[in-house]
Amino acid sequence: MSDTDVLVIGAGVAGSLLACELQQAGLRVHLLEAGGAYDRQRALRGYRRAWDRNFQAAWPDWPWTIVPHLEEPEHYYGSQPLPGYHPAFIKGEGGTTRVWTGMTPRFLPADFRLHSHYGVGRDWPLDYQQLEPWYVQAEHRLGVAGNSSQDQGSPRSAPYPMPEIPLTWGESWMAGKLKKHGMRLVSSPAARNSRQWQQRPPCCGSNTCTPVCPSGARYDAGVDVQRAKSLGVRVSSQHVVWKLEHQGKYIVAAHAKNPDGESRRFTAKRIVVACNSIETPRLLLMSATETYPQGLANSSGQVGRNLMDHVFLFYRFSTPEPVWPGRGPQAVGHFLHGRHGAFRRRHAAAKLFVSNDADVMSQTTHMLNDPANWHRPVERLRQSISHSAALGAEVETLPASGNRLRLDARRRDPLGLPLPRIDYAISEYSERGEKHWHEELLRIIALLGGTPLKVKRSLSAHHPCGTTRMGDSPRDSVVNADGQCHDHPNLYIVGGSVFPAIGTANPTLTIAALSLRLAAHLKAVLTGK
């Protein structure tokens, strides 16, 4: 007899939402998480002590399981050709939503039909209208603030649960300057309270959304992990699932190690892998047997392949008048051009956005490097920061078989499990898009009368997707439109790893919508309702 009805592996946004929905339907649910529980106050203390305040700075490491660090990604991924692809994430109850900025744009309808419309990339096996009701539910579950009357390209059947967070002073200045040039800068939908919502307070503008929201106004999945516990979900943190066990084509158990390296076996009628796009294929590949030598769910050979992310471009520039960054959330506005158009036949689209992060530390370091600034440094720093702004672009990439994750048997984590190795390069299509949006950002800066100061480029916006893509055919995909593995009828996958194409939207809202959609499917299968 199975220990439970549904075993969910991974307590991020996908796994925690799924667990809550299924438990409320009367099913027995067990949620496993590799990391531990997080404490917001401890995270705030860690952030205050940190010198490099990157998005992992506030949160502790777990000695029994490692994650890729921004400062030392080779420890997790191994050496790669430069520039390397090093998406970072955290483990623990709530997953990487503990550190996200909370941006929740929907995919555009054309993002689901990229190949049909433009002859590039790959279509999803479902369309926008099929997912739209689940977007509505996801927005209410996460608590999304947005302007319901504003057309951002994704038709809506219901309003946002909260009004939008207004543009900051600096963004309003930019919007006014650029309006006469036909550019619209608008408030982005975000899982960040603009008023009291679900016992969470409104945003107080602390400007530390990443790495930690001090008040809890910004959603993180730790909220739903706690809700799952209150509903009766059995939650087992500090359990690193390292192998799935099969009998014939059915998955009958998951094996998980505790911090001491002791392994336990958990059985269930249905097993859902709700890890990220790195850890999900890693688990499936580690579960290889004589029957499935390429790993589980991998008769197509697509597990670990088709890895995608957004190429990240970031431009800090000086402004001719003060714009006062650092007051309010770190990110509020984005532009309404760039995400869609006939140009997608030729080059990649991008989401263009404004950053409201003052970046005090790097500006202070830069200023003090010049002895000329040592006279009256506070006044000079105030002048520098108040007259600085930042724009960015997240450029879409296409699925490619050669962009893949494999296991590296020579490198092991603290529990002796093989670490991943990644091969990654962007296509000419994305390179053309990157060049185009680079020039567009410089044009916007010039229209604002600004002077570029600092440019950053990365192959990763820390939005890894793909690696277990969905599709209609078991020959070239891993799961169907419901997230059910073609090879194993009782094994499901949910998360960014099932995306066939990435578009330009931050992936979290779409992950949440797919999780709620999967919950409805499993409830129907297991309860008949």
**Residues taking part in catalysis:** 463
Closest CA relative to residue 1, chosen from 252, 349, 335: 252
* Phi and psi, residue 96, nearest 5°: -75, -10
Closest CA relative to residue 84, chosen from 459, 494, 511: 459
* Phi and psi, residue 2, nearest 5°: -75, 145
Question: Distances in Å between the alpha carbon of 173 and those of 170, 312, 322, 351?
Answer: 5, 24, 10, 20
CB neighbours of residue 245 within 10 Å? 17
Which amino acid, 88?
A
End-to-end CA distance of the chain, in Å?
Answer: 23
CA atoms within 13 A on the CB side of 400: 16
Alpha carbons 149 and 350: distance in angstroms, whole number: 23
Query: At how many degrees (to 10) do helices 13-24 and 508-527 cross?
Result: 30
Is beta strand 311-318 parallel, antiparallel or unpaired with respect to 451-458?
A: antiparallel
**E strand or H helix at 521:** helix 508-527
Alpha carbons 275 and 257: distance in angstroms, whole number: 16
Q: Side by side, which strands form the sheet with 185-187? A: 185-187, 331-335, 350-355, 388-395, 311-318, 451-458
Q: Which residues of 284-323 are buried (b: 16+ CB within 10 A; e: fewer)?
A: bbbbeeeebeebbbbbbebbbbbbbbbbbbbbbbbbeeeb
> Residue 93 in contact with residue 237, Cβ under 8 Å?
yes
Query: At how many degrees (to 10) do helices 428-447 and 169-179 cross?
Result: 90
Concatenated DSSP letters of 154-195: S--SS--SBPPPPPPHHHHHHHHHHHTTT--EEEPPBSB-SS
> Residue 387 in contact with residue 358, Cβ under 8 Å?
no
CA atoms within 13 A on the CB side of 475: 1
CA atoms within 13 A on the CB side of 186: 22
Alpha carbons 290 and 389: distance in angstroms, whole number: 57
Closest CA relative to residue 520, chosen from 9, 100, 27: 27
> Residue 245 in contact with residue 255, Cβ under 8 Å?
yes
β-pair partners for 186: 334
Helix, strand, coil percentages in the chain from 3-state DSSP, rounded to 5: 30, 20, 50
